[in-house]
């Protein structure tokens, strides 16, 4: 899973299990199950007791494990696995925030795929360019299309 910080063009990669990824993807796709999944149940319990999930905070990274907190509307902070917290946040429409320390430690720069492809095409051009490529259009008299060439 990638948490994106579009303002800084950074991503935080978080390795999660297949079940956790499935729970998040189902919520993102708006798919409902016949019976509530655990994250759906937790969302419903919070609603039933009148407490909202204000936000999820990714607060620590230790030994490759991300730690998260659920920040509730009553001021309570609950320790959570990052994947569970994000699955709940997707279901409640709550923001997922990451501390600046975690971003600095684990953030990787996002490369624009279109821009990267253009750079690769330019590198390929530079690798294969010859002086003849600058001799102008075919039949242009070798003036490079800059005027002053022969006419007729």
- Listed by start position, the domains of the chain span 2-109
Contact in structure between 56 and 89 (CB atoms under 8 Å): yes
Over residues 25-58, the pLDDT tens digits come to 888 888 888 998 999 999 999 999 999 999 999 9
Tell me the pLDDT of the chain averaged across its residues. 82
Two tokens, residue 4: 């994106």
Question: Token pair for residue 151?
Answer: 């006419």
Taking the C-alpha atoms of residue 145 and residue 137, their distance in angstroms, rounded to an integer, is 7
The gap from C-alpha 83 to its chain's centroid, in whole angstroms, comes to: 15
For β-strands 96-98 and 53-62, DSSP reports them as parallel
For 9, the 3-state DSSP assignment is: coil
Q: Which CATH class is domain 2-109?
A: alpha beta
Confidence of residue 122 (pLDDT cuts 50, 70, 90): low
At residue 30, the 3 state secondary structure works out as coil
3-state secondary structure of 11: strand
Tokens of 120: 């690769």
Q: How far apart are CA 123 and CA 114, in angstroms?
A: 14
Burial of 51 (0-12, 13-18, 19+ CB in 10 A): middle
Rounded to an integer, what distance in angstroms lies between the CA atom of residue 46 and that of residue 85?
Answer: 13
Give, in degrees to the nearest 5, the angle at Cα 75 between 35 and 19: 30
For the chain, state the CA radius of gyration: 26
Instruction: Identify which has the larger pLDDT, 65 or 149.
Output: 65
Average pLDDT over residues 6-33: 85
């Amino acid at each position: 899973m990638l948490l994106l910080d579009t303002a800084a063009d950074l991503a935080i990669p978080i390795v999660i299990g297949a079940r956790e990824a499935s729970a998040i993807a189902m919520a993102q796709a708006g798919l409902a199950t016949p019976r509530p999944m655990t994250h759906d149940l937790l969302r419903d319990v919070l609603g039933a007791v009148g407490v909202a999930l204000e936000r999820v905070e990714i607060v620590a990274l230790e030994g490759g494990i991300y730690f998260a907190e659920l920040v509730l509307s009553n001021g309570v902070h609950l320790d959570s696995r990052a994947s569970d917290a994000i699955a709940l946040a997707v279901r409640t429409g709550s923001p997922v925030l990451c501390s600046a320390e975690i971003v600095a430690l684990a953030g990787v720069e996002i490369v624009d795929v279109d821009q990267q492809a253009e750079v690769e095409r330019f590198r390929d051009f530079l690798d294969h360019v010859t002086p003849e490529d600058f001799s102008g259009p075919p039949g242009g008299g070798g003036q490079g299309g800059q005027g002053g060439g022969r006419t007729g």
